[in-house]
Structure 1
Amino acid sequence: MSWSILFCLCVIVGVGECQIFPSLMTNATMAIVIDKEYLGDDYDNFRNKIEEFLEYAKREILRHGGIYIQMFAWPAISIKREFSALLSITSCKETWRLYRAAKRENLLHIAISEHDCARLPQNMAITIPIIETGQETPQLLLDLRTNRLLNWKHTVIIYDNFITDDLLTRVIKVLTKRTSQVSSAGISLMSLFTNASAFYDDINGVVRSKLAGLSENMQESHFIAIVAYELVEIIMTFAKELKLTNAQTQWLYVISNTNSKVKTLKRLKQFIMEGDNVAFIYNNTLINGTCNGGVACHIEETLTGFMKGLDDAIVQEFEMASQVSEEEWEAIRPTKSERTKYLLDKMKKYLMQSGSCDNCTKWKFETGETWGREYQVMETDESVAQILSVGTWRPSDGATLVDELFPHVTQGFRRKTLPLVSFHNPPWQILKTNASGDVVEFGGIVFKIINELAKNLNFTYAVEIIKSHNPPNVSATIASSYGLNETSSFMDLINNSETTTFRVPQGILELVHNKTVAMGACAYTVTEDNKKIINFTDPISIQAYKFVVARPKVLSRALLFISPFRGDTWICLSTTIISMGPILFYIHKLSPVYEYKGIRSKGGLATVQNCIWYMYGALLQQGGMHLPYADSARIIVGAWWLVVLVIGTTYCGNLVAYLTFPKNEAPITTLEDLIKRSDTISWSYSKNSFFEAQLKVSNDETYMKIYKGAKEKPNKRNMIAEIKAGRHVYIDWKIKLQYMIKQQFLESDTCDFALGSEEFSDEQIALIVAPHTPYLSRINQEIKKLHQMGLIQKWLQDYLPKKDKCWMKKRSIEVNNHTVNLDDMQGSFFVLFIGCFLSALVVGIEKCWCKKVKDKRQKKVVQPFIS
């Protein structure tokens, strides 16, 4: 059986009873909810009109198929799977409940509801709120909110006395209530006039005083001015005068007392300044014309669009099904969601092209395009701002936009080309040139930041180059081993002693001050004097000053064995040993125990020398051959052993520490240390630098001494030699001193320099912009984000020297375990040598003494006389 015969049978039998055709389009079912409670007395009238129109539509519009209609008087219905579409005429709350139920079954939902009702998602439904003429403002603002065109957390509403209290209440409600699309928001209200007569008195004075009462902290506020057309110019004038408009604020003017005679608001562009975010929504309703509207009109119009779309869908599916087998058609036929989308697109197209209900009511959207226009070359003599038509609004289909309502909020500078100015100053700005001297590439820290700003604020840039004392490097040699991937090599950077941010070419300041360029793409030191002619962004870097000194040398370890104790400790210990010997001797001698027991002997502890050697042996934990027998002498020896235990343990522990951690010379770490050694060490710093400027005006005593005692900076070779010899200290940026230390290491392979631990006189470095530029706050926001993400710090680290063995010694003394070497043990050999020398000397003295005594004894002996 062919598809055409089957279709004819279905039509004859009735679409509702023919279930064998594989397409749901031939037996589509539509549910129509006519809320009796919502419509009240008009219920029967609307139901009869719908039934009459459906009979007409089935006969005249739906020519290639049929549709089964189920009508309900209450919104509390069960959405069935066989439904293809749903038409509801009910309250906003019930409309959304029905939508959620229809969404689960992929139904096309056509909703006719009350005013101030958030529209259903446009990809699933058509929503038509019934709005009285002149009452469109709340619904219009609600549509903008649900479309996230006014996604503001707080709004300041400025209104005049032409808006009624009821309308104002509805506006407040739609701007604050929470919906499924947007969260709740806060508002502040400001009435310009308290009564109608006030409008005709002193308009300018009233408006100015009211706007002046707004908080000065509203730098990122959002304003909606619902005012008469005559007040717009006045509000715009005073808002700019009171600095309530800038690149951070957004102003939306809602003008209801206009009509179709007002074609555009371009005459207001003279009140829009560079960097403003200003948009207008004004009534463009047709006057002196016949307009259809109301619930009945929209019912007939939407049903007509649906029937036409359904008829087209049936024809399309029959044509497709007739070309394939039944099995193939079951595999390729459209799904329910695809049919829903097809019908929705057809309905929207019909309503857009042929819809007539409430078409007289129309609002236009226009916005100011201002960002970066003062830096563009205009072919015509136009003002800074341009007024762009960006969309329209109708009650039937809501807001239709062809561009952003606030284009600069979402699109920044809209790809405009901004002029910048720069000069070669590595590592901040690195300009790569070709053989002819033309700049072909921009690099360095500043241009990395500029590139991020250009990406986030959506602009391109053209750079004007100012020549300076520091010309671009023609060579493209890269020191890749140090992580540099720019045109200037590592050696270029460390040899460039003139790199500074404290002074820039005068031409750059003039171009920025005169607003010839949008920004100076160069790092510049922030000072109060400079703020008088240009403005600064938030700091991109803060460079601290330090000084470089000769690395402290390791002290001689020849006398390491005496290091655990100070000199006074050794003197006290020696005195104790010498004194304890006689004390033990006299205690031993005076004790009557030996005489009582008859055991006194002449050897052992009976001599002072033996007692002293015994105490010395006990100190070295060697003991002695003789111990006292008397308890009194034993108490003395026992007490001495306890002392020896404490002394020996302390000595051994400290000796291990001195062996592990070599002792260095006392380093110079602070400016105070430097001043204390001013008699042996000189210092210098770069002239015409930020540090010198700070020293001149400082009242700090330390800074004053540094300034007065500074010497003229010697040439580089002499300065390196003086610092290495420990006779000179150089003060500069920490990063430049790190370059110097790295260069010295590369040349000598030794770590001769060290940085002081104290950081002082922080120098803030920022980008420069024109005074009173409206974009400073936005630029600062982006710089803050770069700091928070760590990108700027990472870019700075890319230009720092890579870690080496000197880097570990910059911060502290080496803490790894130390292997004992000959330098550590040389003191022990010195002691042994001195001991041997003294022993040999004493032996000689003993021989001489013994010989002398022997000769003396021989003289005393009487010799026999022999003749």
Structure 2
Amino acid sequence: GMWRRLSSALMFDAVHVVVSAVRELNRSQEIGVKPLSCTSPLIWQHGTSLMNYLRMVEYDGLTGHIEFNSKGQRTNYTLKILEKHPAGHKEIGIWYSNNTLAMNSTSLDLNASETLANKSLVVTTILENPYVMRKSNYQEYQGNDQYEGFCVDMLRELADILKFSFKIKLVDDGLYGAPEPNGSWTGMVGELINRKADLAVAGFTITSEREKVIDFSKPFMTLGISILYRVHLGRKPGYFSFLDPFSPAVWLFMLLAYLAVSCVLFLAARLSPYEWYNPHPCLRERRDILENQYTLGNSLWFPVGGFMQQGSEIMPRALSTRCVSGVWWAFTLIIISSYTANLAAFLTVQRMEAPIESPDDLADQTNIQYGTIHGGSTMTFFMNSRYQTYQRMWNYMYSKQPSVFVKSTEEGIARVLNSKYAFLMESTMNEYYRSLNCNLTQIGGLLDTKGYGIGMPLGSPYRDEITLGILQLQESNRLEILKRRWWEGGQCPKEEDHRAKGLGMENIGGIFVVLICGLIIAVFVAIMEFVWSTRRTAETDEVSVCQEMLTEFRNAVSCKKNSRSRRRRPLTSTGGGVLRHPSRLTLAGPRPIRLIREMRLSNGKLYSGAGCPDLGPGPQRLLEDPLVAPPAPPRSFLQACSHVRICQECRRIQSLRPAALTPPPPGASPPPRPDPEADVTAI
């Protein structure tokens, strides 16, 4: 009856509009009527004018205000919204043609029959950790007991509060829900629209697009889209990470610089006359002996002392050698300071090196692929985004072949771990999987903000009750307790802060290795020197090597003796390149060959061993004949003791002196050796 009344009213208003328009047209011009066929190309000449007058009609009729726009459509009208009641229809609101809706706030009261109490609802859901999961032994259970998870627990608590029962049913196509080109919806949204389920409880994102076709409760969890990527596996600090502050090239150039400085120092010391000096200016017999402290060994040792900031006794005398030393010390100062400063940066702050740090980094590169779940809200977010970076990301994801979209979160996680792939997913899921797998990390912050809600068919009578139940659970902190229960359990170490921390053995253990190796080498060299020395002595003294080694070892480790005396045998041979010219020797008696060998081995000091035979036995012993000045040593001796030479003036004076005394015959015994301390006192 109501529809008949409405069509009659519309017909009445339509006729009234046509009559008004014809009257106006008739006023302005004569209207002639002539018959026209539908097949004829001829048209009524007043038709266009009549249409214009129809558009201008405006009056209040039975169906409300009547007015037309330029296209001939009705505008500026209202529709009353009626609700069926047992007593008839009741007006509950007004809809205006400019798309606004005014509802009467007292309307839509739920009757007692529409409450959730004692109702049994079908709940559609989707398997997603940790929201809804099958129990490990789910085959042994029936119905709802097969499932566990955050959403299952929340549903049970809601059912306790609102006194309803439910049956969990997994969504048929395993999707959350996205619109198809033909207008239908897939997934859980489709099941709600088709009334196959009363509720959808899962990690179900509230979006405006879904809100148009289904209803949502208030959100029970807030979140945002985040980027999941695997942890960049930085190089673990090795035992020799104390070498890291300098590159291998710098270490190599430092070694070359050390060798270059040693060579230049050696040459400069040889060329400079100020580095040749007389070690015994008080001894008349030694005035013509000059010595240079920079032997090759000392030239290599002096830069080491400076580099280690310890110095050495071998200090330069000449300006040239002091220049070399000063420049080397300046080099050392900068190198050591730079090393110290960089060591702090290298070893105390070990930052995670992530190849990407934000969505913009991800969008600007092509090395790392990225994608999301196919048919989810994250995919819809990128599809509809107007932000330039996200649009670029969507264009990449949409056009990329093979597809960067995945069917499920598990597939996405596996792809992240096994290839260069960043997974765009919701932050709550990101947090959950990061707690399970320490090789995963979140890159940057959240791309958006949204919430998870419980979905219902459009106009569901249970929406308010469900929302009230969720608010109660939130206010009593039950949802927070549930979240902690299902999200915690990760054993990952907390991210270290970037403050300085103590260095462990894994950082600087290498220097201990260097120390131990150095000690082992030193002991080995000492043993080699000892064996070499005792073999020479054994050859000279004509005793067995083992016996000589035993005797020397006893003397070396004896705690009672601080000074050692060596057995000396008279020289029985004038052979060996040094004593070829016995006529030119000035000493009172021959010296053992061993003394000359010791002299060769001496480290830059003329008297380290027993002294040079041609120039006297050493500071402990004066020349036997103090009145006779020694001549120039033989050429072969100068070659052996290259850091000793005769000054030119002395050589010129010596050439004017009479020939030196000849040494006694080889069979003569050497003169008795005086007490060293008495000689020192005499000097």
Q: TM-score range by the shorter chain?
A: 0.3 to 0.5
Select the structure that is richer in strand.
Answer: 1
User: Max radius of gyration: which structure?
Assistant: 2
- With normalisation by structure 1, the TM-score equals 0.37
